[in-house]
Amino acid sequence: MDTIDCYDDADESADRDDEADGYYDKGQTFVVEGKYKAALLCVSKAIELRAPGDAYDYYGRGAVYYKLENYMEAVRDITKAIELRDEEYAHDYYGRGKAYVELEKFDEAIGDLTKAIEICSAPANWFEMTEDCADAYNERGITYFRIGKYNDAINDLTHAINMRTEANLYDYIARGIAYLENRNYGKAISDLTKVMTLRIEENHMDYHLRAVANFRGGNRNAALCDVDKALRLNPNSKESKALRRQITSS
């Protein structure tokens, strides 16, 4: 990519920091447009120009690497951002924690997400960072779920739900599935029903999962009703067809 693609308003008289700012800003524009490879080139140019390094540049490039699914490079860049900071930022640890999740380094992920929660839960940060904290609780809860710690997952996802100013369907989906795996079928049904009220359009998987919860909880008729609805929404679902056979043969 030519320089002009990254910095349309290049000024030969600008100092290196101003020029780097131009590349960084253009990179962020490309991020908004979903042009992540272009964004990577621009933010990398900002890093090259700015010495000895800027935390925002490295965090920004780490976020782009995450979007490109290059999680190891995301970890490296966000770690560099953390090293360059004068103080600790919750979003650094949240971002690196998410990358660790994708790398299946769950202990490191939980450590970073816990650090993010500690920072955003500090009294000085609380009012402006409530949603960030909720996101960190959600991510840590899902991570606990992935390693089979369902009670911890439920606790974190409940924290996320209670912090939100508006209900987030992904919190309820994750907690509903955690309740399902924890054999608390009544609460699983309640959360999955809440998910349905939050959807803009009906989703067959919501009905499939609630059918599973109803079936495991002993309510065969409700399970059959839900799985039939799931199949009306997605007639080709092999999972729902198999579930229906299991329900009707029980």
pLDDT tens per residue across span 218-237 = 999 999 999 999 999 999 99
Lowest mean pLDDT segment, chosen from 43-52, 137-146, 195-204: 43-52
- Can you give the residue range of the structural domain that contains 41? 1-81
Is 222 a member of any domain? no
In this prediction, residues 57-65 reach a mean pLDDT of: 96
Is 156 a member of any domain? no
Quick check: 106 and 98 in contact, CB under 8 A?
Answer: no
Q: What is the pLDDT of residue 2?
A: 44
pTM of the model: 0.88
Quick check: 247 and 227 in contact, CB under 8 A?
Answer: yes
pLDDT at 61 over 70: yes
Quick check: 101 and 143 in contact, CB under 8 A?
Answer: yes
Is 74 a member of any domain? yes
Q: What is the pLDDT of residue 93?
A: 96
Q: What is the pLDDT of residues 62-90, one digit of tens each?
A: 999 999 999 999 999 999 999 999 999 99
Quick check: 61 and 29 in contact, CB under 8 A?
Answer: no
- What CATH number is attached to the domain comprising 69? 1.25.40.10
Q: What is the pLDDT of residue 228?
A: 98
